[in-house]
Structure 1
Amino acid sequence: MAATAFHQAIGTLQSRGYFSDSFDRHEFENASVRLISKGIKANVGPLRKGSYCSRLRKFSVIKASTSQTLEFGSVSSPSTNNSNGNVKKSNEAALILIRHGESLWNEKNLFTGCVDVPLTKKGVEEAIEAGKRISNIPVDTIYTSALIRAQMTAMLAMTQHRRKKVPIIKHSESEQAKAWSKIFSEETEKQCIPVITAWQLNERMYGELQGLNKQETADRYGKEQVHEWRRSYDIRPPNGESLELCAERAVAYFKEHIEPQLLSGKNVMIAAHGNSLRSIIMYLDKLTTQEVISLELSTGIPMLYIFKEGKFMRRGSPVAPNEAGVYAYTKNLAQYRQKLDETVN
């Protein structure tokens, strides 16, 4: 089902002119089938019983949407070599966060969690649009969850990037997998962007709610109970994860694996899910447990952060690749765009 939906989506996009005539549809489809058919299991750790804080919550909804106001400040171009041939460490780096496009179960209003379902045609189009928004922002490394909807979003977004580098999944589940996926050509390596998958970036596991219709579940258990399961910080649904538990694994992974990349000047993109990204944003923006439960992220809308001098600065969502605001974040980004123009033209 996943492969069929993805193939139909690619056909629709090609007919609408998203891809050029030179686009090798069959090669892309074959790659997608291999990716979709790969079984990946998410090993979620033991779940603890949370406690509920009954005091009133003040909701302040923060939406990543197309109407979001841009802030201008300072994005680093990729690390460059100095005159001695050594890698020059950049003091700035870009961090792009993208919630996956609409999935089949999003469309059906079902609790999805860690169930592996692909994007809808709309979700594919959202991923393509996200790619257009970040097409001039440098990306050195991509992190995704182990779920196909996040991986599809990352791959489709990068088809729009002006550097035209090929995203390649780095397999590390065994020594054999590492050996089989190794790239031996230095020239090929330069044309690739490594994609690292991690179950720690998976969506929050909804336990017994997974696969159930949200409206029908509310009718059965009551709106207040379902709202408590979905929007409280430390209460988990039956045999599922609370947002607190999701945050523990996602933020720990971000600190251990992704933050060091940013510190070294690498520009990183994360394609993941509503709750794993909410958890990371909670860490980046220093949100309270009350603020994070009201944070809403739209599907397929990228958010840009600048990492500079140990601090994360939110820069909103790039509006479109042709608008001047996209290039006005920093002088370095403008220089990077100029280098892209020279390379492409």
Structure 2
Amino acid sequence: MARVVLLRHGESQWNLENRFTGWVDVPLSERGIQEARNAGEKLRGFTFDRAFTSVLMRANETLRLALETIGQTALPIQKDKALNERMYGDLQGLNKAETAKKYGDEQVKIWRRSYDVRPPGGESLKDTAERVLPYYEKTIKPHLLKGETILIAAHGNSLRALVMELEQLSREQVLELNIPTGAPLLYELDGGGKVRSHRYL
């Protein structure tokens, strides 16, 4: 039986400041560092065969701290921008509350939570899924079909796209999905890559 753990990075400095982050490479906050270590504690007892992460430091640091905590630092790790957070375009760096005042709560909610509406200059969740899912199918899933145990450290929206695929969620269902920072989400898969069970650790 294959297992894959999805781990959203710990709180970043811009999460703390309530800013749109996207592809801007910001570090973890102090709380985020602790969340990454706590995630590692929850992963004790797992032996991972390999790990995948985005190219952004907040995901890389979360992965490093979690693996340090469980003493598995020699793991093969593959970094790819396909797992990067959704790119928020012109909104990147803006405070979310100030953006809502400028454009209206409803418009910002549409940009953040709709499936296929792009923020100005940015990606929709649909766009994000269109780079995450082919990467999963081509690069990650073959290891799961061999029965490996995989850790993926990434971001709220790239992981939402992956959960949508794993759980076969509708567009409406995925809009309500929120993945907390630093909370490992375990999926157990059958020999064909279908989900048998999932739970937060």
Which residue of the other structure, out of 4, 11, 16, is the alignment partner of 1:107?
A: 16
Does residue 125 in structure 1 map to residue 34 in structure 2?
yes
In 2, Cα distance between equivalents of 1:293 and 1:251: 17
1:59-78 correspondence runs (5 A): none
Tell me which residue corresponds to 2:77.
Answer: 195
SS at match of 1:159: helix
The one-letter code of the counterpart of 1:270 is I
> Structure 1 counterpart of 2:72, which letter?
K
Aligned to 1:260: 142
Indicate the residue corresponding to 2:190 in structure 1: 308
* C-alpha distance in 2 between matches for 1:217 and 1:313: 41
Mapped partners of 1:94, 1:286: distance in 2 = 17
Matched with 2:174 is 292
Q: Which has the larger radius of gyration?
A: 1
1:138-287 equivalences under 5 Å are 138-161=47-70, 164-166=71-73, 192-287=74-169
Q: Distance in 1 between matches of 2:29 and 2:115?
A: 29
Deviation at 1:93, TM superposition (A): 1.2
Q: Distance in 2 between matches of 1:238 and 1:315?
A: 35
CA distance in 1, matches of 2:2, 2:69: 21
Letter in 2 for 1:109: N
Q: Give TM-score scaled by structure 2 length.
A: 0.98
| Cα distance in 2 for residues equivalent to 1:315 and 1:255 | 19
Asked if 2 retains the 8 angstrom alpha-carbon contact of 1:143 and 1:271, the reply is yes
Please report how far the alpha carbon of residue 314 of structure 1 lies from its aligned counterpart in structure 2 after TM superposition: 3.2
Instruction: Determine if contact 2:189/2:197 at 8 Å carries over to the other structure.
Output: no
Partner of 1:38: none
- The number of residues matched between the two structures is 200
Distance in 2, Cα, partners of 1:99 & 1:287: 19
Cα displacement (A) at 1:199:
0.1
Q: CA deviation at 1:257?
A: 0.3
Q: Distance in 2 between matches of 1:230 and 1:254?
A: 23
Instruction: Return structure 1 stretches of 4+ with deviation > 3 angstroms.
Output: none
1:93 alignment partner in structure 2: 2
Q: Which has the higher contact order (CA 8 A, sep 6+)?
A: 2
Tell me the CA shift for residue 317 of structure 1: 1.5
Unaligned runs of 5+ in 1: 1-91, 167-191, 319-345
Is the 1:208–1:239 contact (alpha carbons within 8 Å) kept by the matching residues of 2?
yes
CA contact (8 A) 1:94 1:138 kept: no
Distance of 1:106 and 1:206 partners within structure 2: 14
Question: Which amino acid in 2 is paired with 1:212?
Answer: L
Distance in structure 2 (CA, Å) of the matches to 1:138 and 1:165: 8
Aligned partner of residue 110 in structure 1, secondary structure: coil
